[in-house]
Amino acid sequence: MTAADPFQINSLQIDGAGIRFTNIEKRYGGLFALRRVSLDVAEGECVALAGRNGSGKTTLLRIAAKLVRPSSGEVQYTWQGDQDCATPRTGFVAHATMVYDELTAEENLLLFARLLGIDAPAVLVDRLLDEVGLAERRASLVRTFSRGMRQRVAIARALLQQPQILLLDEPSTGLDPEGVAWLANTLRKLHDAGCTLLMSLHGESPISALATRAVRLDSGAIVADARGAADIRGILAFAGA
Amino acid sequence: MPLLANTAVLLGKELRTEFRSRELLMTTVIFILMVIVLFSFTFDPTSAESRRFGAGLLWLAFLFAASLMLQPCFLREQNNDTLSALRLAVSDPFAILLAKLAANTLFLLLTELLMLPVFAVLYNVPVLPVFGQLLLVFFLGSLGVSVAGTALSAISAQARMRELLLPLLLLPLLTPVLVASTQVTASLLDVAPFVQWKGVGFLAVFDIVFLTALWLFGEYLLEE
């Protein structure tokens, strides 16, 4: 799969990628957001990060996206395919939508596609708008969208470069049950295609059913790490309590 | 070149969002217009009087208008955390700053050019004979204001009391630009107009030094 191919989620084949966090610490003044976090996310894994508000999930995801520099420790990426880039192709769906309200859905996606250097961006954007169910609202300004529709644009933006690693920070925020089911289905297809998923979640949902592993953070430290279905449910249920 | 290509794409976005909302242009045009009109009533705008005070008045209005314009430059990117999306998308973060800088310079220059005829009429100062030279000073001055202002806007956007911080940092830093621009403009509005090349040279050097600093350290300004 190359970044130039038009996006067809059902026929995607994504080169695998993994992330290794080693002794990551993040301090804001005297406050520890993360304490010596070491986590090895293997290629093709779907890891759910759980924990109460302020436990460090978002910080860890932003460090993985290289948006935040850790105070100490190291983040390493392993990936197949094009090794000329410094990191694998990484998509990020954050709490905020990360799209412009003053631009239309199509303009937003075209903007980011052009910045990413994607060939024939218009074709890809057409497919993605179709994929996220916004083809008919392509020419509407994002500020006229509901929260759920904005989230769909945000997800389309994150999928522009067919990410090898997809980071999601509470991705179901603002989505109605139908939207959550659609997102779970989309993520399942991406995961099946080989995309590595690292996502923060609150409690159980159709999305959490995708997790092949769950990690619970508490006060910036990893306090539980499980792979079995029952243990994953236990961690997510505990975190969502 | 990815840097220039990304800058062009981002500049297009800045222009599109601004011409759609007209927030910055409207604010600055109205501000400068108010200053020019109000001051035209405070003293008798004879030609000689205007030649003495006009340049300083004009640049003070430009500077304060610029501080209004620069304030939302990076704040806008914080609404939906779009700055993070840009940082993830561009290969060189300097493209983000370069596009903001180009857009700010363009908006400021456009405002100045719109206000120049109003100033000329209200203050009875002929500007047409020296329009080319004025354009050069306006460009160099606006570039200086925008380079320093874009950098400080990026810094202050992440700080508490950001509305206060930007003008506090910006105005002292831009005093040399204000002085040089005023002197060169005043020499151009003189009865016997001439170009004060020393001032023009100073503005050019200021722009180059700050642009280089922005290129070297810009990446750190955008970090969280």
Closest approach of B155 to chain A, Cα-based (Å): 16
pLDDT band at A239 (very low <50, low <70, confident <90, very high): low
Chain A residues lying within 8 Å of B79, measured CB to CB: 96, 101
Q: Establish if A84 belongs to a structural domain.
A: no
Q: Any residues with CB less than 8 A from the CB of B48 and at least 6 apart, and which?
A: none
A223 domain residue, yes or no: yes
Global pTM value: 0.89
Sequence-distant (6+) residues with CB within 8 A of B192 are: none
A135: confidence class by pLDDT, cuts 50, 70, 90: very high
Number of folded domains that form chain B: 1
Within-domain flag for A203: yes
CA of residue B152 relative to chain centroid, distance? 13
Could you tell me which residues come within 8 angstroms of residue B8 by beta carbon, excluding any fewer than 6 positions away?
Answer: none
Which DSSP state fits B43?
S
Residue B160 has phi, psi (to 5 degrees) of -75, 160
**Is residue A133 in a domain?**
yes
Q: Would you state the pLDDT for residue A8?
A: 67
Q: Looking at beta carbons, which residues of chain B come within 8 Å of A101?
A: 79-80
Domain of B38 in residue numbering reads as 2-221
Interface confidence (ipTM) of the complex = 0.88
HSE (side-chain half, CA atoms, 13 Å) at B168: 8
Smallest Cα distance from A206 to chain B, Å: 26
Could you report the per-residue pLDDT of B109-152, keeping only the tens digit for each? 999 999 999 999 988 888 999 999 999 999 999 999 999 999 99
- The answer on pLDDT for A36 being more than 70 is yes
Q: Is B107 helix (H, G, I), strand (E, B) or coil?
A: helix
What CA–CA distances, in Å, run from A32 to A24, A54, A169, A224, B117? Answer: 11, 10, 20, 19, 57
| Subunit contact A103:B81, Cβ cutoff 8 A | no
Q: How many separate domains does chain A show?
A: 1
Q: Return all residues near A180 (Cβ < 8 A) that are at least 6 apart.
A: A172, A205, A206, A207
pLDDT at B1 over 70: no
Answer for the pair B122, B36: CB distance below 8 angstroms, yes or no.
Answer: yes
| Residues of chain A with a CB closer than 8 angstroms to some CB in chain B | 62, 65-69, 90, 92, 94-103, 107, 111-112, 114-117, 157
Does the beta-carbon distance from B89 to A116 stay under 8 Å? yes
> A228 in a domain, yes or no?
yes
- In this complex, which of B13, B81, B224 lies closest to A98 when CB atoms are compared? B81
Nearest Cα to A153, choosing from A174, A178, A184? A174
Q: Are B82 and A100 in contact (CB under 8 A)?
A: yes
| Chain B residues closer than 8 Å to A112 by CB | 85, 89
Query: Domain range holding A213?
Result: 9-13+42-66+89-240
Hey, what are A33's tokens?
Answer: 């957001």
pLDDT of A92 reads 95
Question: In a mutagenesis test of the A interface, which of B80, B84, B160 is the best target, namely the one with the most A β-carbons within 10 Å?
Answer: B80
**B-chain residues near A173 (CB < 8 A):** none
Which of B17, B18, B82 is the best mutation test for A, with the most CBs of A within 10 A?
Answer: B82
